Amino acid sequence: MPVALSSAERLLRSLGVVEAKQIDLEAIAYTMGAKVKYRPLDGCEARITGTMAKAVITVNENSGRRRKRFSLGHELGHWRHHRGRAFECKSSDIGSGKDYDPFDPERQADQFAADLLLPAYLFKPIASSLGRMTLDAAENLSTEFDVSLTAAAIRLVELGPIPAMLVCHGPNRRKWFRRHPKLPEFFPPAELDPDTYAKDVMDRKIERSRAAKVGADAWTSSPNAADFEVTEQTVRIGEDAILTMVWWHDEAQIQAELRRSESRRHR
């Protein structure tokens, strides 16, 4: 059965978009009745004001190109879903990596932006052809779709061919994480395990790690994690943040955890 398209994907289809390079956000905004301006903004990344028919979106011209693209997609999400309301969106509101919340306007706008910039009908075939769930693969996708590494990595975890987690840590604790839909409720540690390559990146011993195997108990708290391995790769994405992709080549741990959950339900 065909997967239902999101509203952003239906919009792209209606405009005849069949390649990533055809995703022209300013032209899309025009078709939606929104005018785009780039101006210096103090205290926010983008804002939108408008009536029920026309809107003006202002994007911070001092941000990087890919940040500006996601910010514009985010504001178009507000225009599609929250028409008639004004928003001033800070950096923490846009592309935060937090789990989707159907009642949070900022997460709704983020989801629209992801569907607009990284539509599943274009993204999944390319991600599957790469056959890998590494940050290197995510970088290739970020170039293809002209988005940030973080945005591409989140989408790869959501839609990629292999079960994986994406985890963002700050100097003290985990900031957020995302899981592949196939994964059980594995929770990555709040604090980095000293035996992970991610800890070396956080401690600035290296700026980026290669993809390498570590014990699964370094990244999940399930009781049988010590019996399995995962592969991790980490890169620094800012002064106070690192991004780690963790994936399962051998799905035995996943199957064991699913059996354990099923057993608990039948007690």
161-259: CATH topology? Beta-Lactamase (3.30.450)
Q: CATH assignment of 7-117, given 1.20.120, 1.25.40, 1.10.10, 3.40.50?
A: 1.10.10
Q: pLDDT-derived band of residue 7, with 50, 70 and 90 as boundaries?
A: very high
Alpha-carbon separation of residue 150 from 2, 95, 110 (angstroms): 28, 8, 13
Instruction: Give ranges for CATH 1.10.10 in the chain.
Output: 7-117
Instruction: Give ranges for CATH 3.30.450 in the chain.
Output: 161-259
- 26, 113, 132: which is closest to 70 by C-alpha? 113
pLDDT tens digits for range 204-255: 999 999 999 999 999 998 878 888 899 999 999 999 999 999 999 878 788 8
pLDDT tens digits for range 124-172: 999 999 888 999 999 999 999 999 999 999 999 999 988 999 999 999 8
Backbone φ, ψ for residue 73 (5° rounding): -60, -40
